[in-house]
Structure 1
Amino acid sequence: MQAYERKQLLERVEREGATVGAEIPDRIEIAGEEIDLQEFVFEIKRRETVPEGERERERVEHAKRNLRRERLRRVERIEEGDIDRAEGEELAGSIIGIDRALNALESLGPTDLEAESKAQEAADKKRWTSFLKKALGRDDGPSRRGR
C-alpha cells in the first residue's frame, strides 16, 4: 500500500462523522475470541441503560475496554503494517464498525438515579443562575466586556 493510501484510510477512520450509516459488525475477533458484537450491543441498547447489577455493568465496561484496545491495534496495523489496499480497506471498515459499537455503548445512560438526579439539579441551578445574571445585567460574558 502506498503512503497516500495509508493516510487516506487513517483520515477516514478518524473523520468525525465516519460512523454515520455504518453498521456494527455481526461478529468480531478480539484477542483471539469471536464475539457476537451486534447481538451484544443490541441486547444492551434494548435496555436503554447500563444493566442493573455490578456483574452486568462490569461486562459492559470490559467490552468497551476490549473494543478500544482492538480499535487501537487495527489502527496501528494500518499505520505500520505491511498490508495491501484490500486488507487496509477491510481494517478501516472494521474500525468504523467498532467505533459505531462504542458510540452505542457509550450513549447508555447512567443507572444511578440518585447521581443522575443530583447532576440534573446542579445543571438546573447553573442555568437558573446564568439566567438571573443576564436578567439583572450582571453577565460578565465577552459581549459586555467590550462596552
Structure 2
Amino acid sequence: MEEFERKQLLERIDREGATVGASIPETVTVQGEEVNLREFVFEIKRRDRVPPGERERVDRAKRNLRRERLQRRQRIERGEVGYEEGRALAESIVGIDRALEALQSLGPANIEAEARAKEAADQKRWMSFLKQVLGDDGGRRGRS
C-alpha cells in the first residue's frame, strides 16, 4: 500500500462523523472469536437501560471491541496489509465504532449513578414545589 493510501484510510477512520450512515457489521471476529455484533447490539438496545446482571457482559464486549479496533488500526498504520485489505479493515473499524457508540448511549453505567440522578431530580422537584408554595422570594414577602 502506498503512503498516501495508508494516510487516506487512517483519515477515514479518525474523521469526525465517520460513523454517520455506517451500519453495524453482522458479525465480527474479536480476539479470535466470531461475534454476532449486530444481533448483540440490537438485543441490548431494545431495553431502555442495561439490567445490572447484563452490565458486566456489555462492559466486557466494549473492552474487547476497543481492543480489536486498536489492533486493526495498528495493522493499517504499520502498513502490514495491502490497500484492499486495509480498506476492508477501515470499514470494519467504522462499523465497530458505530457499535461502540450504540452501546455507550445506554442508560446510567451503574446503580449508584442512577440513584444520584434520581436524588438530584427529586431535590429539584422539591425546591420547585417550595418556591411555588412560598413564592419566589422564599416566603419573605412583606418583611422589611
Same fold (TM over 0.5): yes
**TM-score normalised by L of structure 1:** 0.77
Superposed displacement of residue 116, structure 1: 2.3
Distance 1:7 1:118, change over 3 A: farther
Superposed displacement of residue 64, structure 1: 0.2
Q: Which residue of 2 aligns with 1:96?
A: 94
Identity %: 61
Question: Equivalent of 2:103, from 92, 102, 105?
Answer: 105
Contact 1:24–1:97 under 8 Å retained in 2: yes
List 4+ stretches of structure 1 deviating above 2 A.
118-122
Structure 2 runs not aligned, ≥5 long:
125-144
Superposed displacement of residue 120, structure 1: 4.8
Residue 8, structure 1, aligned to residue 8, structure 2: yes
Q: Which residue of 2 aligns with 1:34?
A: 34
Aligned length: 123
Contact 2:24–2:38 under 8 Å retained in 1: yes
Distance 1:120 1:21, change over 3 A: farther
Paired with 1:119 and 1:90, the residues of 2 have a C-alpha distance of 46
Specify the SS of the correspondent of 2:34.
strand
Paired with 2:8 and 2:55, the residues of 1 have a C-alpha distance of 37
Cα deviation 1:51-82 (Å, max 9, x = unaligned)? 232xx110000000000000000000000132
Distance 1:119 1:72, change over 3 A: farther
**TM-score normalised by L of structure 2:** 0.78
Superposed displacement of residue 84, structure 1: 1.1
Superposed displacement of residue 117, structure 1: 1.6
Superposed displacement of residue 50, structure 1: 1.5
5 Å matches for 1:5-84? 5-53=5-53, 56-84=54-82
Contact 2:26–2:36 under 8 Å retained in 1: yes
Contact 1:44–1:51 under 8 Å retained in 2: no
Structure 1 runs not aligned, ≥5 long:
125-147
Q: What is the RMSD of the two structures over their aligned residues, measured on CA atoms?
A: 2.0
Residue 115, structure 1, aligned to residue 113, structure 2: no
Specify the SS of the correspondent of 2:81.
coil
Paired with 2:3 and 2:122, the residues of 1 have a C-alpha distance of 52
Specify the SS of the correspondent of 1:83.
coil
